[in-house]
Amino acid sequence: MTELIPAIDIIDGKCVRLTKGDYTTRKIYNEDPLAVAREFEAYGFKRLHIVDLDGARSRHIVNHRILEQIAGATSLTVDFGGGIKTDADIRTAFNSGAALVTVGSMAVSAPELFLEWLEQYGSDRIILGADTKDGKISINGWQEESARELLPFLKEYLQAGVRHVLCTEISRDGMLQGPATQLYARIMQECPQCRLIASGGVSSLDDIKALNTNGIPAVVFGKAIYEGRISLQELAEWAANDK
């Protein structure tokens, strides 16, 4: 069954969402990310994806105090991404309570350092972030497009020991028009060993069911909840009934 992972994106310490990664589109949904995390926990969710959008833009961790609060006040397994560029950043994330970290830009711009982290912290604690648009990998908070092609990029790192991959189709992100299910199914077909986390575009429970039907291991979603397209209750019931 596809694992359900709600997301909290943070700017200025507040729970926000963007559209296609455009910071000018930000919309504040809650000024207390901890309260949002506690609600997810109350509905039985076990995982939480936190994105430090300030960190992604600033190229260093900014909102680690929010991570610390959520990790310290809930039992959620938190994965954290955004702004992890240095040894100090990754230490800060883990010391603040992250169980896993998502690293994307550094896997493109500093692959040697990324592989050092993979060896040092282990494949169960490092998620390869693969944010893609038009088949290419985007970096630095989606502000820059690299020359790396998605599938060769994934295969290279899976061969190097990566297990977890978070793939976001940027053109779908925040659009509430459905995820790139065919892309994720292709990734699983070509990289069956990948523990893939699909991200971007989820608009309904049917979208999640389609990902499940296609054998996608996990999905991150946020805006559909905040906009009332999916209720936490229906997600909890589906998860309980589908086990």
Is residue 131 annotated as a catalytic residue, yes or no?
Answer: yes
Using CA atoms, how far apart are residues 61 and 134, in angstroms rounded to an integer?
Answer: 28
Task: Check 54, 79, 89, 131 and give the catalytic one.
Answer: 131
Q: Which of 9, 54, 173, 207 is catalytic?
A: 9
| Secondary structure of 77-127 as H, E, C letters | EEEEECCCCCHHHHHHHHHCCCCEEEECHHHHHCHHHHHHHHHHHCCCCEE
d(CA 147, CA 135): 10
Q: Is 207 a catalytic residue?
A: no
- Paired residues of 48 in beta bridges: 78
CA geometry: angle 37, 43, 45, nearest 5 deg: 65
What does the alpha-carbon distance between residue 147 and residue 170 come to, in Å, rounded to a whole number? 16
CA pair distance 165, 100, nearest whole angstrom: 12
Query: Which positions are catalytic?
Result: 9, 131
